[in-house]
Amino acid sequence: MFQFEQETEDDWWEVEALYDLCFAPGREALSSYRLRDGVKPIPELCLVARDADGIIAGAIRYWPVRVGGAEALLLGPIAVHPTHQGEGLGRLLIMESIQKAGQMGWSRVMLVGDAPYYRRFGFGKLSGVEMPPPTNPDRVLGQDLAEGAWDGVTGKVTNWAAEADQDC
């Protein structure tokens, strides 16, 4: 049993420790991190899942980006503590947050990830959407949160804007 909550400032170190545990050293050098520079995540979509002992077992964050000038959400990072992997927690975090994003009025979401894994959540390859190098174009995936939201949206993925005043 997990309890889902919005991430708070007090959770930051625990969430970062989880990301450090689950991802390779140097994760912050990835191109997706350049899109987050100077931009705060969307607080309502930054979720933590606590286990029965109140320890963070999983976390997910979302960041605003632009694709050819169109607004989009960049999902990630998402991580589940190794002791809880295989329990469906990642799926729950993704589905809960995507539903919430749609309710908030966001129309499209994207990520960089493994297509066979994310396909089960409704993500597919985005053609004509260019992440900063050295991203493999086959790993650039998206999902419509509103019907046809990705139709005709192409171009470079760019940093949202440093003036976003939202906070996790």
**pLDDT of 29:** 59
Does residue 24 register a pLDDT over 90? no
23 pLDDT tier (thresholds 50, 70, 90): confident
Render pLDDT for 125-151 as a digit per residue (tens, 0 to 9). 999 999 998 899 999 999 999 999 999
Q: What is the mean pLDDT of residues 83-98?
A: 96
Percent of the chain with pLDDT over 70: 91
Identify whether 117 is part of a domain: yes
Give how many domains the chain has, as a whole number: 1
Identify whether 165 is part of a domain: no
Q: How many CB atoms lie within 10 A of CB 26?
A: 7
**pLDDT of 166:** 45
Identify whether 167 is part of a domain: no
In sequence order, what DSSP letters do the residues of the chain get, joined into one string? --EEEE--GGGHHHHHHHHHHHS-TTGGGSHHHHTTTT----GGG-EEEE-TTS-EEEEEEEEEEEETTEEEEEEEEEEE-GGGTTSSHHHHHHHHHHHHHHHTT--EEEEES-HHHHGGGT-EEPTTEEPSTT--GGGEEEEESSTTTTTT--EEEEE--TT-----
Identify whether 41 is part of a domain: yes
**pLDDT of 134:** 87
Identify whether 166 is part of a domain: no
Tokens of 136: 């493999």
Q: For 77, phi and psi rounded to 5 degrees? A: -80, 160
Render pLDDT for 52-76 as a digit per residue (tens, 0 to 9). 999 999 999 999 999 999 999 999 9
**pLDDT of 53:** 94
Its pTM stands at 0.90
Q: Please check whether residue 158 is in contact with residue 116, taking contact to mean a CB–CB distance below 8 angstroms.
A: no
Q: What is the CATH number of the domain that holds 80?
A: 3.40.630.30
Segments forming the whole domain that contains residue 31: 3-159
Does residue 165 register a pLDDT over 70? no
164 pLDDT tier (thresholds 50, 70, 90): very low
